Amino acid sequence: MSAPDWTRRTAADLAGALAAGEVTSVELTQAHLDRIGAVDGAVHAFLHVDPEGALAQADDADEYRRAGTPRSALDGVPIAVKDVLATRGLPTTCGSKILEGWVPPYDATVVARLRAAGLPILGKTNMDEFAMGSSTEHSAYGPTHNPWDLTRIPGGSGGGSAAAVAAFEAPLAIGTDTGGSIRQPAAVTGTIGVKPTYGGVSRYGLVALASSLDQAGPVTRTVLDAALLHEVIGGHDPLDSTSVDQPLPGLAEAARLGATGDLSGVTIGVVTELGGDGPQDGGWQAGVLARFQESVELMVAAGAEVVEVSCPHFVHALAAYYLILPAEASSNLAKFDAMRYGLRVLPPGVESPSAEEVMRATRDAGFGDEVKRRIILGTYALSSGYYDAYYGQAQKVRTLITRDFEAAFTKADVLVSPTAPTTAFKLGEKLDDPLAMYLNDLATIPANLAGVPGISVPSGLAVEDGLPTGVQILAPALADDRVYRVGAALEALLANKWGGALIAQAPELDGAPA
Amino acid sequence: MPEITRDEVAHLADLARIDLSDAELDHLAPQLNVILESVASISRVAGDDVPPTSHAIPLTNVFRDDVVVPGLTAEQALSGAPAHEQQRFAVPRILGDEQ
**pLDDT tens digits for range A57-102:** 999 999 999 999 999 999 999 999 999 999 999 999 999 999 999 9
Question: DSSP class of residue A154?
Answer: -
pLDDT at A276: 78
Q: Which residue among A199, A369, A395 sits closest to B54, beta carbon to beta carbon?
A: A395
What percent of chain B is predicted at pLDDT more than 90?
65
Residue of B nearest to A317 (CA): B42
Interface confidence, given as ipTM, is: 0.94
pLDDT at A277 over 80: no
Give the pLDDT mean for A348-362: 95
- Residue pair A375/A129 in contact (Cβ under 8 Å)? The answer is no
pLDDT at A514: 37
pLDDT at B3: 80
Q: At what angle do helices A369-381 and B22-39 cross, to 10 degrees?
A: 60
What percent of chain A is predicted at pLDDT more than 90?
93
A320 Cβ neighbours under 8 A, 6+ residues apart: A394, A395, A397, A398, A401, A449, B42
A56 Cβ neighbours under 8 A, 6+ residues apart: none
**Chain B touched by A292 (CB under 8 Å):** no
- Measured CA to CA, the distance from residue A267 to residue A495 in angstroms comes to 22
Substitution target from B1, B15, B17, B88 for chain A, most A beta carbons within 10 A? B17
pLDDT at B21: 94
Alpha helices in A193-285 (DSSP H): 223-233, 251-258
Q: Which residues of A touch B15 (CB under 8 A)?
A: 379, 383
The chain-wide mean pLDDT, for chain A, equals 96
| Positions of E strands within A343-447 | 414-418
Q: Which residues of B touch A477 (CB under 8 A)?
A: 56-57
Among A42, A286, A280, smallest CA distance to A164 is for A42
B4 vs A353 pLDDT, higher one = A353
Q: Do B31 and A394 touch (CB under 8 A)?
A: no
Give the pLDDT mean for A30-48: 98
pLDDT at B1 over 70: no
Please give the backbone phi and psi of residue A227, each rounded to the nearest 5 degrees, phi first.
-65, -45
Of A82, A97, A124, A430, the active-site residue reads: A82
Q: Do A339 and B89 touch (CB under 8 A)?
A: yes
CA distances from A43 to A5, A49, A125, A339 (A): 19, 14, 11, 35
Give the pLDDT mean for A395-400: 97
Kindly report the CA angle at A157 between A156 and A162, in degrees rounded to 5? 60
Q: Which amino acid is located at B65 in the chain?
A: D
- Residue pair A186/A192 in contact (Cβ under 8 Å)? The answer is yes
Q: How far is B26 from chain A (nearest CA, A)?
A: 12
Say which range, A146-155, A231-240, A264-273, A276-285, has the weakest mean pLDDT: A276-285
The dihedral over CA atoms of A295, A297, A300, A304, expressed in degrees to the nearest 10, equals 30
Active site residue A396: no
Q: What is the DSSP string of B37-98?
A: HHHGGGGGTS-TTSPP-S-SS----------------HHHHHTT-SSEETTEE---B-S-TT
Question: DSSP class of residue B2?
Answer: P
pLDDT at A513 over 50: no
Q: Which residue among B41, B56, B64 sits closest to A319, beta carbon to beta carbon?
A: B41
Full-model pTM: 0.97
- Residue pair A174/A119 in contact (Cβ under 8 Å)? The answer is no
Q: Which residues of B touch A393 (CB under 8 A)?
A: 42-43, 45-46
Q: Which residues of A touch B77 (CB under 8 A)?
A: 105
pLDDT at A511: 55
B18 Cβ neighbours under 8 A, 6+ residues apart: A360, A363, A364, A367, A372, A375, A376
Q: How far is A372 from chain B (nearest CA, A)?
A: 8
What percent of chain A is predicted at pLDDT more than 70?
97
Substitution target from A336, A376, A480 for chain B, most B beta carbons within 10 A? A376
Bridge partner residues of A173 (DSSP) = A80, A219
**Chain B touched by A246 (CB under 8 Å):** no
Give the pLDDT mean for A471-478: 98
pLDDT at A4: 77
Q: At what angle do helices A109-117 and A223-233 cross, to 10 degrees?
A: 110
Question: What tens digit of pLDDT does each residue of A424-463 get?
Answer: 999 999 988 888 889 999 999 999 999 999 999 999 999 9
Greatest distance between any 2 Cα atoms in chain B: 57
Band (pLDDT 50/70/90 cuts) for residue A512 is very low
